[in-house]
Amino acid sequence: MKLASPLFRDDPRVEWLPDDPDAVEAHVRIDGTCDLVVGYHGGRFGELDAFVRRCAGDRAEIWARFTDATGANVLDAGAQLAADHARLQVYLRGHYGPDAVARAFAAVGCEAHRQLVANALALFQLQSAEMIGLELEGDRIGAAIYLAVPNRGPADVAAIADAIGFVVAALRPASDAAAQWRLVAAELLATASEEFIYVSFEPTSELRWIKIDVGPRPLALGGVIAQRLGLDPSALLATGAAHDMRLLTHLGLRFGGASPAVSIYHALR
């Protein structure tokens, strides 16, 4: 795959990607490092499947078991290539209920807590998760699901913020994440138009992380959110400015680990 952006030219996996992806984004982290995110519609799943198998090498059987359990009849699929070249995340978009999530991750030796998934769907009044994700990094296998929560504007913001805050408060180990979320929730969720907020999390009983992604926002808001959380946004903003990322496709906030993390996404074409 050929990219006009110089951001990913040193990652050999870029050349293995199927040509002409349907979506190409840069994912810039708080330290200024940048991952590549690509998406393909479901009819091209076979191309992405071949790419993932090549990247996985002798661990390709893990990916094969995962897709056998989820099925390849997806609406679209995507991959995220980490800046350190050590991590590959793959996402499948479709409709995944609690049983489907538990079955998919059991197939690769990951626990996925069925009741946690069911409770999260009920909390956000959803029938199914919209995406399911697998992360491969060395010997580690990571699991993720993504809920698409409709935000219809000011009338919805308080209820959505409270629901997300409830989940954030359940993170393990316990942290200040719930209080940190309250500091930024209203501004992060504020929008003049309808959008989907993507609430993603590790569907295990430990619930070690949760991420909230909102739709198009100005780059400057990423800096404001980071500063409110006591983070230094200078590297993130410098990368964004250097590559003309003034209007983001989405803005993300992740809780888990020692501190929260802010990241931005920008379409490369």
Q: Average pLDDT, stretch 251-263?
A: 95
Mean pLDDT over each residue of the chain, to the nearest integer: 94
In a domain, 246, yes or no: yes
State yes or no: cis peptide before 173, omega within 30 of 0: yes
Strands 23-28 and 261-267: antiparallel
> Could you tell me the two tokens for 14?
């870029």
Number of domains in the chain: 1
Q: Is the pLDDT of residue 135 over 90?
A: yes
In a domain, 1, yes or no: no
Backbone φ, ψ for residue 255 (5° rounding) = -110, 140
> Could you tell me the two tokens for 87?
């991590």
Model confidence band, residue 1 (pLDDT cutoffs 50, 70, 90): low
Helix (H, G, I), strand (E, B) or coil at 182: helix
Q: Is the pLDDT of residue 6 over 80?
A: no
In a domain, 143, yes or no: yes
Burial 170-180 (b: 16+ CB within 10 A, else e): ebeeebebbeb
What pLDDT, on a 0 to 100 scale, did the predictor assign at position 89?
A: 97
Q: For 141-200, write each residue's pLDDT tens digit.
A: 999 999 999 998 888 899 999 999 999 999 998 889 999 999 999 999 998 788 999 999
C-alpha to C-alpha distance for 60 and 50, rounded to whole angstroms: 10
C-alpha to C-alpha distance for 221 and 215, rounded to whole angstroms: 12
**What percentage of the chain has pLDDT greater than the value 90?**
86
**What is the extent of the structural domain holding 156?**
6-267
DSSP 8-state class, residue 230: T
- Which residue would you say has higher pLDDT here, 137 or 7? 137
State yes or no: cis peptide before 260, omega within 30 of 0: no
C-alpha to C-alpha distance for 173 and 230, rounded to whole angstroms: 20
* Cβ–Cβ < 8 Å for 73, 85: no
Q: Is the pLDDT of residue 86 over 80?
A: yes
Q: For 92-113, write each residue's pLDDT tens digit.
A: 999 999 999 999 999 999 989 9
Model confidence band, residue 4 (pLDDT cutoffs 50, 70, 90): low
What pLDDT, on a 0 to 100 scale, did the predictor assign at position 63?
A: 96
